[in-house]
Amino acid sequence: METVWGIDLGGTKIEGVILPVGSSEPVYRARIDTEASKGYRHILDRIALLVSTMESASGMKRPTVIGIGTPGAEEPATGLMKNCNTTALNGMPMPRDLAEKLGTRAIVANDANCFALAEATLGAAKGAGVVFGVIMGTGVGGGIVIHGQVLNGGQGIAGEWGHNELIEGGELCYCGKRGCVETVLAGPSLQRFYKSLTGEQKSLKEIVQEADSDSAAKATLERLIDLFGKGLSVVINILDPDVIVLGGGVGNIDLLYTQGVKSVEKYVFNTQLRTKIVKPLLGDSAGVFGAAMLAR
Ligand SMILES: [Zn+2]
């Protein structure tokens, strides 16, 4: 049986999967703790341990290439990691070090790209030509897949619409710029906006559920709908994807698939919107499945 192997490196867990080619039914799947606080070398050791475990548990030999999903990106010019929220990885030549340690090639992509690749090849956008995978959760990210291939871009930032400016002079973003999409559409940003209106802290779920009775919750969602349309229309005008898959906690909000789509249509450079905007199918598996699909 021909298989692909993927590793999803997260801040707290490392997950590994062995998938038969073209299938979303794993032959083997396991998770271990990242133990990120023990530093970069230790994280590499943990990945090596997981790959050895995958070999012994499955009775298969490791393949010549393994896909690795990471919380940041590889800078193509240098091979060094950047933009990782597991900060021990930043500035490190992880693809090179992993290749040496594992004795296989390691193809690295960020978690939004892995999400997009999984949904484009095995999930909600299977069979579509051009797919934009969006993660709207604690942050906002995105990945572009064209005919089954991830587009990394010359600087490793393709698809990073979360740091497009959406509100001029808006809230300061961790990236150093102001008014980024992420400062408006991420879950915590919606909660902050609600709190700015009421002085009260509510969960995203409460804000969504109470929109009928709570005018500030309603205003928060109306602003989300409007600015979601404005932010996403910029991506559509450039990439014109066939399908957009919305992941993350904010992507779960049903209104985005009705009023949100209308809002995108209002802002996009066309009289109608034929872009399909859909919910993901693979749930928590998208990250690790996408990592495995990097290795095809
Ligand atoms: Zn930013």
Interval 19-59: pLDDT, tens:
999 899 999 999 999 999 999 999 999 999 999 999 999 99
Ligand 1 mean position, distance from CA 4 (Å): 34
Say what the pLDDT of residue 25 is.
Answer: 96
Note whether residue 136 is domain-resident: yes
Nearest-5° angle of CA 138, CA 139, CA 145? 125
Is 121 among the domain residues?
A: no
Task: Tell me: do 39 and 107 sit in the same domain.
Answer: yes
**CB-CB neighbours of 236 under 10 Å:** 20
Distance 107 CA to ligand 1 centre (A): 26
Residues 32 and 71 in one domain: yes
Residue 242 falls within a domain, yes or no?
yes
CATH of the domain at 38: 3.30.420.40
Is residue 86 one of the residues assigned to a domain?
yes
Distance (angstroms) between ligand 1 centre and the Cα of 146 equals 25
Ligand 1 centre from 175 Cα, in Å?
4
Distance separating alpha carbons of residues 237 and 214, to the nearest angstrom: 35
Smallest CA-to-CA distance from 12 within 45, 44, 43, 34 is with 34
182 CA distance to ligand 1 middle (Å):
6
| Distance from Cα 161 to the centre of ligand 1, integer Å | 9
Do 249 and 204 form a contact (C-beta atoms < 8 A)?
yes
User: pLDDT tens digits, residue range 52-93?
Assistant: 999 999 999 999 999 999 988 899 999 999 988 888 999 999
Query: Is the domain of 238 the same as that of 150?
Result: yes
- Give the model's pLDDT for residue 84: 86
Output the six-digit token pair for 158: 């393709």
- What is the percent of the chain where pLDDT is above 70? 100
Question: Ligand 1: distance of its center to the CA of 283 in Å?
Answer: 26
Q: Tokens standing for 5?
A: 């192997």
Tokens of 183: 């400062």
Residue 20 C-alpha to ligand 1 middle, in angstroms?
38
Phi and psi of 190, rounded to 5°? -65, -40
Residue 285, helix vs strand vs coil: helix
Residues pairing with 284 in the sheet: none
Whether 155 is in a domain gets the answer yes
| Whether residues 57 and 153 fall in one domain | no
Residues 133 and 109 in one domain: no
Q: Say which residue the tokens 């703790």 belong to.
A: 33
CA neighbor of 253 nearest in space, from 191, 204, 184: 204
pLDDT at 83: 87
Domain that holds residue 160: 127-279
How far apart are the CA of 216 and the centre of ligand 1, in A?
25
Domain assignment present for 122: no
* Centre of ligand 1 from the C-alpha of residue 135, in Å: 15
Segment 121-137 shows an average pLDDT of: 97
* Confidence at residue 86, expressed as pLDDT on a 0 to 100 scale: 86
Do 82 and 132 sit in the same domain of this protein? no
Give residue-wise pLDDT tens across range 250-286.
999 999 999 999 999 999 999 999 999 999 999 999 9
Q: Does residue 294 register a pLDDT over 90?
A: yes
Q: At what angle do helices 215-239 and 187-198 cross, to 10 degrees?
A: 140
pTM score: 0.95
- pLDDT, tens digit (0-9, with 9 covering 90-100), for 186-241: 999 999 999 999 999 999 999 999 999 999 999 999 999 999 999 999 999 999 99
| C-alpha–C-alpha distance, residues 191 and 172, integer Å | 16
- Identify the pLDDT of residue 237: 98
Q: Is 20 helix (H, G, I), strand (E, B) or coil?
A: strand
Within 171-280, residue ranges assigned H as helices are 182-185, 187-198, 204-209, 215-239, 248-251, 259-267
Rounded distance from Cα 103 to ligand 1 centre (Å):
37
92 inside domain: yes
Is residue 175 domain-shared with residue 230, that is, in the same domain? yes
Going from the Cα of 139 to the center of ligand 1, the distance in angstroms, rounded, reads 9
Are residue 94 and residue 174 in the same domain, yes or no?
A: no
CA distance 264 to 262: 5
Same domain, 109 and 139: no
In angstroms, rounded to a whole number, what is the distance separating the alpha carbons of residues 291 and 117? Answer: 8
So what's the pLDDT on residue 207?
98
pLDDT for residue 29 = 97
Same domain flag for 180 and 112: no
Residue 87 is assigned to a structural domain of this protein = yes
How many domains are there within the chain? 2
Domain check: are 26 and 42 in the same one? yes
The Å distance, Cα 60 to ligand 1 centre, comes to 43
Q: Are residues 82 and 195 in the same domain?
A: no
State the distance from the centre of ligand 1 to the C-alpha of 178, rounded, in angstroms: 7
* All residues at 6 or more sequence positions from 278 whose CB lies less than 8 Å from its CB, including other chains: 124, 125, 243, 244, 245, 246, 257
Of 273 and 156, the structure prediction assigns the larger pLDDT to 273
